[in-house]
Structure 1
Amino acid sequence: MDDSGSPEGRSLPPRALLAAIVDSSFDGVISKTLDGIITSWNAGAERIFGFTPDEAIGRQITMLVPPERLNEEGWILERLRAGERVVNFGTVRVRKDGRRIDVAVTSSPVCNLLGEIVGASKIVRDVSDARAAASALAQSEARLAAIVDSAMDGIITVDALGRIVVFNDAAAAMLLCPSEQAIGGTLDRFLPVRHRQHHASWMTGFGRSGTTSRAMGRPGQIDACRADGTEFPAEASISHVEVNGEQLYTVILRDVSELRGAQTARRALEAQLREAQKMEAIGTLAGGIAHDVNNALGAILGNAALAKEDLPAGHAACKSIEQIDVAAQRARAVVRQILAFSRRQAQELVVQPLAPILIEGIALFRSTLPTIVRLQSCPPSDDLLVRADANQIHQVLLNFCTNAWHALRGSSGQITVGAERVNLDRSEAFALGGLEPGAHAHLWVTDDGCGMDEQTRARIFDPFFTTKPRGEGTGLGLSVVHSIVQTHAGAIVVKSEPGLGATFSVYLPEPAEVARPEAAAAAEGEVKGEGRCVAYVDDDEVLLLMVERLLTRRGFQVLCFSDPDELLDRLCEKPSEADVVISDFNMPKMTGIELARKIAQMTPNLPVVVSSGYISDEMREDARLAGISALLEKEDVLEKLVPVLSRVLAAANVETIQVERRD
């Protein structure tokens, strides 16, 4: 003990002082021989395990070890014989009543004055109820000093005046204060300033309470302060003992900064997991409802278009039909938003000009815009190409434009949509999130609305974040945009200030120009059936009738089937009657892909098109392996069915000619 300790501390025999400290410890302190025979047993050990010293001393330490963990004791003894410590070893031990408890054990070799290892000490902490304590027990002054000095937790003892009389090496390292500077000083220097005024009265009250030991804080956690002023969370236990009429208080301190950080990281991971599970649930829901909803949307859009064709120009019902079409288009956009947000929407990245995509998106948005809002467009040159999914770029534009419209808050204003080619140097590309330098397509939407503050800008891409009133926004729109731009290997930038409007910019890498084959362009322009026969199978009667009317008006002959077995029977009787087969994917008896496999066995050269309300990447792969000519989304039947049939039939004719020439 340092001579700078208090007069009261020096008046105590060192052995009595250390023995009192050990016996009053809140933790179990046990010493044993190198053969595992218990040689001392403190009150803390009795509290934890239920054995009295008479029942424990002289017995093997293995009486506390479950049978399946006996190998641990041998391993610990080998480490101790080698002069090594076993620090904070988490394990399970058995009480006298047979109950198993979780404990943290620190074992250290004990040496005599000659430096010979003559035994071992254990500090046992019961962590089942989150109590924190540490101490040591030994039979001689050298052993007691070794236990205190070898402890990994800080052990600090103060007298009744609050002056430190014991300050072990672990406390010195933890609190960044050498023992010689700490002993004789006050304990409250290691407490945050805000707690110091209450510390003295708390210690006095604890001494008068008659309690000999207590965990501090809840549950045993406090804020401690290092000598350099930095604070850290700690687990602490305090014990009180009277030795030769002197009141002594021993605090055992453990730094739990890493544990607290691990708990914080765990909570963050749990939050991420919950968010991922929520997104997965949305994706599952989206995939489940997309088929049925898109079936209905395809029928609504198709029948609305056919009805409009049946009516003379200027008929009173035309406006109602136009509103039906607008509402169905909005519903289709919502389904696509949910699919894109949940990453369940399959992508078709194609090198194509950006200008037509921009023009189509502006036309679609213009039909929903009030007349008081001016919409200005600045389309790019026709040679500006992007590798993109046109439908998803439409979603980006519609979300940007819709947010711009809402930012006007019902007043007049202007929205500008444009695109241009920009060349990003290395620093500009890096500032945009690590894009590759070079040519990019810059797409932007600008408004002169209310603008956003910094806090709002920081959260606008968060899922479910919205500034709109309840019921007017889902908070998904800009999250969808962010997801789409990321999957297109692009970057997104927002510039806005309150009252000064906002500009949303998207940068997409420009691919090398790809020439568009003339044959493909001609096939896409073909819109007449010229009497070719289409076999169409779908269990939805509404779609069956709608597609039949649509194809008949375009010059096709149509054979309709509500049961795939009926189609197979017809093909068996007349294998060359149909030029192409269109099948729904989701049918009661078999899927469209299963039907295509059976058709391939019967008539290998007959092309098959499969339509579905929800097309996943897995479905695309299965369709490719089954030899299906094309996949078609149900809600796009009106716009894409005839062009798809034209391409498929043109490809089939080319293949037939090649086969005949080889023969």
Structure 2
Amino acid sequence: MKRETILFPKKPHSLLTLITGSVVITISLLLFPGAWFIQKSFENQLEIEKLKELNQINLSWTSDLDRWLADAKHSILRFSTLVSNLPESDTPDNVALFDSLVAPGADESFRSNRASFSPASEAGIWIPNGASLTPGTKSFFVEAKKVTQHFGQGALSNFENIWILPKQGGIIIFWPNEPEFIYEATNDLDYTASQWVTLTRPDRNPKGLPQLTKVSYDPATGAWMVSIVAPYYRQGKWAGAVGHDFPISKLARQMKGVKLHHEAAQLLIRHDGTLLLSDQFSEKIEASNGHFQIEDTHDDALKKIFDANINTSPLTFPDNIVRDGHRIFMLHHINEADGLFITITPEDALLTLAKKSYRAIWMLGGLALFLLTLIPVVVICRMVLPPVNRLVSGIKKVSRGNLEYRFVQSGSKEFCYISEALDKMVQGILSSKKEDKQKEASLKKIKNVIDFERKKLKSIFEAMNDIILICDTSGRLIETASSKSKFFYRPPDEIIGKHLDDIFTPEKATFFMDAITTSVSRKAPVKIDYELTIDGHPLWFSASISPMPPDQVVCVIRDITNRKKTEEQLRQSEEKFSKIFSMTPSIVTITRLEDGCFIEANKGFEDVTGWKRDEVIGRTSTEIGFWGSPTSRPDMVASLKAGNDLFNKDVSFRRKDGSLRMGLYSARLIHLSGVVLILSVVQDITEIKKMEDDQQKLQNQLFQAQKMEAIGVLAGGIAHDFNNILSALFGFTELAKMEAGDNELMKKYLDSVSTAGLRARDLVGHILTFSRKSDVKRQEIFIDPIIKETLKFIQASLPSNIRIHQDLRVKHARIMGDAIQIHQVLMNLFTNAGHAMKNKGGKLEVVLDMIAIDQTDTRQFNKIKPGLYYCLMISDTGCGIPQAIIDRIFEPFFTTKNREEGTGMGLSTVFGILKEMAGGISVYSEEGIGTTFKLFIPAHAQSSGLDTTPLESKPISGEGNILIVDDEEPIVQSSQAILSSLGYSVTGTTSSREALEEIEKKPKFYDLVLTDMTMPEMDGLTLARRIKAISPEIPIVLCTGFSHVLTKEMCRSVGICDLIMKPMIAGELSKAVNSALNKRPGKETHDARSDH
């Protein structure tokens, strides 16, 4: 008999003994075999982790390089677009600016002028000797310089520099770190055949894409560079290259940071096999001037791997790893450089790194195995056994009938689930007993509630004005829930069990039956309205009929007579409102308060605004651009929300065509269907406003004319008295010069007095010209003397901190015009320039030149006709004119000055005068820099009608008896002395009455009478008439300082032979006397020139 082996004895062991033994046996079986397996796994895993780490580092570096290159290409494309869009035409300003910025050097090549060149903020220019410098080329270099330095200041945080290489030669470059670059360039430097230009040629780069150059050495900086280049175009044709440079050293430093082992090698190879970067072959790359190819490495494995992967799609880990038996090649595509980044790591070096890591891991693993043996035993003792003992104790108590016992949830999650399940089981037993008792109590409560609700529902039905009926589908009344009888002509208890035919007329009964049939067939409520005549009054009712299974219907009937009356009144009101709404010519709209959405618009809205009703319904007033001001609607809404109705508020609104109109706005809030709306009326008052504005402008114009007339009267009075003073001054000065003899110094002083007097006379003439108003008489005049005279006149009124520079490049500039109008134009422009510079001072520059305007240029100058024009340029360095108003400065009454400073008619007058002369005007202004006006005045051809020979100013001697009459004693004395010195016999008096008495006494004695116009006793015209009445043959010459109405025709009508203006110098006086005496019949004076 065999002996039975018992592995598990019938006597049970404790739970602690079983679990502890199992853990010890399992760990022992796994410890030694697992050690070898873990070692091998660690070696393979660590090698993979190192490769992943290297892959991540390389991927990060290549991604940064791709992103950086993409930014560089995007930057250079934007710069290429800016250069290609530069203006094509040349301008005189740009040509002049080029000549000031660029100067030839010792080698005759052109460079930026070192004295004014600031490399930190400006782009430099270098142009080789022999390059063609047309005005267009100069203008392009100036514009290209501006855009290069502006673009470079924002882009050089990522790049070394930015440059432009025109295909004709030369360079524009912004390189703050190399200020000497353009000065070290020599004439033998030819960029046109370099890779920087050839890579952008259409035959090499037909799509015009950015290109990455080979590595090149820059002798100016002593650094190896790589460039991003792109073409630019002029008039749609390739014109050259633009580009960024960046040093290779920066990329090399970044590339060194991605090594895991010092024996590893790194290569950045372009798609054509050119090595751009390599720590292993850096010297050979530099020695080959950037042309070092992958074949030159003599590494066949590297060449084979490169050729196999350069044209493939980007590889991911671990497909980007290639092994040749002793080296590991890791490949990454550089998309933007169209090349590969390759890391070569010896396998032994990678294994050495892995072994360093897994030794430490092995030691930690042994310690972990020991802890795994110890910890389960401790956990079992501390956490498993106590919860099990508590569960066993609780089960025993429940089994003895203690249903109130609760299992405490403690220990692990499984023990908590067991405790919870046992607790629910005990509670379920306890709850089932309690539920039986509660159900009995609930049924009793439900019965009481049903009885109560039944009574309440009956009370509600009896209190309602509605009748509730229950009928069967054949129309027989089964029950009513109301005691009302007005719908049926009799009490309800008399109609229960009756058919509808017995209650209503046949027509109404049929109507009801149709509704009942429809409700039953559709299984849905049906509503009907019907009319009954009760006690002679027509009443309206509404019935709602609903099916009630299985074969009955419920009818709810309500009196709607008042509602019907209200609806009819509302309909009539709406019809009346609709007629008024549509017929009024004003704009009437209904819009939502919340967002301004149009709900309704009348025909007046369509007629005034041009919008059709269907075009705006559902759209907001802001969306269609109705309001002239963006604040108009918010202000109106705020006022309406505050409870204020609006009445005749001034608003501006726009028509569909964009034209601005003025209106009176009235509005109030209304409520329809719970929505707050705005009912608004707008009356178009644009034409009324325009009439009011025109009237105001006419009033302003009248006021200005009256003011100018008053100024003219005042100026005339001043001129009269001042000319009398000047007449005495000229006279006594001439006399003093006659008495000076050979005293040249005295004559020189007296000539200065005469010169000052002439300037004073010219000043008075300018005042009179400015103030008087007369008809325009265009004739041949020279404009350059008027410019000089006006500048002298205006200089006295300008502040001392304003400098005047005049450059009149044309002499005897002949035009057809009115001197007064030309003077007025100049005074307006000079005054405006002075006002613009009154605070800070500045420079007023006046340049006169002749230009030819062809058919192309006329579009730039207000469409004036082609031909020769005098261009008068008036420039100031004042505050400038804002661009927002520069198009309005020639409008009448438009001004930015205060009322005390201007009326707004100055520039309007200038524009009108030039337009009448068939000329034009242009303006250019920049705020804070200044303003330039250019006047284009047609040049007049040479003719004999305008004499440029100066008048002879020497006195003329003669013979004869002359009577001089003037109320100013100094004038009589000086004139008497001058004429006496010329050989005349002169009698002088200050009284016109004494002069008349002298003629009465000696009517045949005097050969000539010289009289003033304005005298206290008798004016010159009256005296002339009375002298002519006594002695008709006596010639009379009339003198005056100023007169608004006196003309030579008026003088001739009373017998006066000549009219001369004060002040008179000796030559003018003697000439007038000589001419008058020669006109006397039978008389001739001695007409010899005198040197007095």
Q: Is the 8 A contact 1:158 1:166 kept in 2?
A: yes
> Does 1:273 pair with 2:702?
yes
1:629 paired residue number: 1057
Q: Is the 8 A contact 2:770 2:824 kept in 1?
A: no
2:606 paired residue number: 172
**Greater displacement, 490-499 / 621-630:** 490-499
Q: Does the C-alpha gap of structure 1 residues 547 and 393 become closer, same or farther in structure 2, counting only changes over 3 Å?
A: farther
Cα distance per residue 1:264-301 (max 9 Å; x no partner) = 43443333333222222221212222211111122122
1:155 paired residue number: 588
Partners of 1:188 and 1:444 in 2: CA distance: 48
Q: Is the 8 A contact 1:221 1:234 kept in 2?
A: yes
Q: Does the C-alpha gap of structure 1 residues 567 and 328 become closer, same or farther in structure 2, counting only changes over 3 Å?
A: same
> Does 1:612 pair with 2:1040?
yes
Q: CA deviation at 1:147?
A: 3.2
Q: Is the 8 A contact 1:401 1:445 kept in 2?
A: no
1:642 paired residue number: 1070
Q: CA deviation at 1:567?
A: 1.7
**TM-score, normalised via structure 1 length:** 0.56
Q: Is the 8 A contact 1:357 1:393 kept in 2?
A: no
Partners of 1:297 and 1:239 in 2: CA distance: 76
Q: Is the 8 A contact 1:611 1:631 kept in 2?
A: yes
Q: CA deviation at 1:231?
A: 5.3
Partners of 1:649 and 1:439 in 2: CA distance: 47
Partners of 1:247 and 1:241 in 2: CA distance: 6
Partners of 2:984 and 2:1029 in 1: CA distance: 25
Cα distance per residue 1:203-239 (max 9 Å; x no partner) = 4433xx6xxxx335xx612244556776543211123
1:109 paired residue number: none
Q: Is the 8 A contact 1:524 1:647 kept in 2?
A: no
> Does 1:288 pair with 2:736?
no
Summarize the alignment of residues 245-644 of structure 1 with structure 2, pairs less than 5 Å apart: 249-313=678-742, 321-344=750-773, 509=940, 513=944, 527-616=955-1044, 618-644=1046-1072
2:650 paired residue number: 221
The 3-state SS of whatever aligns with 2:1055 is: coil
The 3-state SS of whatever aligns with 2:772 is: coil
Partners of 1:397 and 1:261 in 2: CA distance: 32
Amino acid across the alignment from 2:582:
D
**Greater displacement, 265-274 / 224-233:** 224-233
Partners of 2:824 and 2:639 in 1: CA distance: 64
| RMSD of aligned residue pairs (Cα, Å) | 6.4
Q: Is the 8 A contact 1:279 1:342 kept in 2?
A: yes
Amino acid across the alignment from 1:255:
D
The 3-state SS of whatever aligns with 1:636 is: coil
Q: Is the 8 A contact 2:588 2:601 kept in 1?
A: yes
Amino acid across the alignment from 2:608:
M
Q: Does the C-alpha gap of structure 1 residues 507 and 185 become closer, same or farther in structure 2, counting only changes over 3 Å?
A: closer
Q: Is the 8 A contact 2:955 2:1067 kept in 1?
A: no
Q: Is the 8 A contact 2:653 2:661 kept in 1?
A: yes
Amino acid across the alignment from 2:646:
A
Amino acid across the alignment from 1:648:
A
Partners of 2:623 and 2:924 in 1: CA distance: 50
Q: Is the 8 A contact 2:1077 2:1083 kept in 1?
A: no
Amino acid across the alignment from 1:290:
A
Amino acid across the alignment from 2:1041:
G
Q: Does the C-alpha gap of structure 1 residues 323 and 540 become closer, same or farther in structure 2, counting only changes over 3 Å?
A: same
Q: CA deviation at 1:611?
A: 0.3
Q: Does the C-alpha gap of structure 1 residues 247 and 652 become closer, same or farther in structure 2, counting only changes over 3 Å?
A: same
Partners of 1:202 and 1:416 in 2: CA distance: 56
Q: Does the C-alpha gap of structure 1 residues 227 and 559 become closer, same or farther in structure 2, counting only changes over 3 Å?
A: closer
Aligned partner of 1:205 among 620, 642, 646: 642
Q: Which has the higher contact order (CA 8 A, sep 6+)?
A: 1
Amino acid across the alignment from 1:293:
F
Amino acid across the alignment from 1:555:
G
Q: Does the C-alpha gap of structure 1 residues 510 and 245 become closer, same or farther in structure 2, counting only changes over 3 Å?
A: closer
Q: Is the 8 A contact 1:351 1:511 kept in 2?
A: no
Q: Does the C-alpha gap of structure 1 residues 416 and 602 become closer, same or farther in structure 2, counting only changes over 3 Å?
A: same
Amino acid across the alignment from 2:719:
A
Of structures 1 and 2, the larger Rg is shown by 2
Q: Is the 8 A contact 1:493 1:504 kept in 2?
A: yes
Q: CA deviation at 1:178?
A: 3.3
2:665 paired residue number: 236
Q: CA deviation at 1:571?
A: 1.5
Q: Is the 8 A contact 1:361 1:397 kept in 2?
A: no
Cα distance per residue 1:514-538 (max 9 Å; x no partner) = 699xxxx9x9799444331111101
The 3-state SS of whatever aligns with 1:300 is: helix
Summarize the alignment of residues 56-95 of structure 1 with structure 2, pairs less than 5 Å apart: none
1:65 paired residue number: none
Q: Is the 8 A contact 1:488 1:508 kept in 2?
A: no
Q: Is the 8 A contact 2:817 2:917 kept in 1?
A: no
Q: Is the 8 A contact 1:222 1:235 kept in 2?
A: yes
**Greater displacement, 598-607 / 426-435:** 426-435
Q: Is the 8 A contact 1:337 1:395 kept in 2?
A: no
Q: CA deviation at 1:496?
A: 9.8
Q: CA deviation at 1:543?
A: 0.6
**Greater displacement, 239-248 / 331-340:** 239-248
Cα distance per residue 1:385-407 (max 9 Å; x no partner) = 98899999999999999999xxx
Q: Does the C-alpha gap of structure 1 residues 388 and 264 become closer, same or farther in structure 2, counting only changes over 3 Å?
A: closer
Amino acid across the alignment from 2:977:
R
Partners of 1:609 and 1:645 in 2: CA distance: 8
Identity %: 23
Q: Does the C-alpha gap of structure 1 residues 203 and 439 become closer, same or farther in structure 2, counting only changes over 3 Å?
A: closer
Q: CA deviation at 1:426?
A: 10
Q: Is the 8 A contact 1:417 1:446 kept in 2?
A: yes
Q: Is the 8 A contact 1:333 1:395 kept in 2?
A: no
Cα distance per residue 1:61-104 (max 9 Å; x no partner) = xxxxxxxxxxxxxxxxxxxxxxxxxxxxxxxxxxxxxxxxxxxx
Aligned length: 502
The 3-state SS of whatever aligns with 1:577 is: coil
Cα distance per residue 1:347-385 (max 9 Å; x no partner) = 999989x79989x989x99xx9xxx9999998979xx99
Partners of 1:531 and 1:593 in 2: CA distance: 26
Q: CA deviation at 1:610?
A: 0.3
Amino acid across the alignment from 1:179:
R
Q: Is the 8 A contact 1:154 1:168 kept in 2?
A: yes
Q: Does the C-alpha gap of structure 1 residues 157 and 261 become closer, same or farther in structure 2, counting only changes over 3 Å?
A: same
The 3-state SS of whatever aligns with 1:239 is: strand
Amino acid across the alignment from 2:588:
I
Q: Is the 8 A contact 2:599 2:617 kept in 1?
A: yes
Q: Is the 8 A contact 2:727 2:1065 kept in 1?
A: yes
Q: Is the 8 A contact 1:400 1:504 kept in 2?
A: no
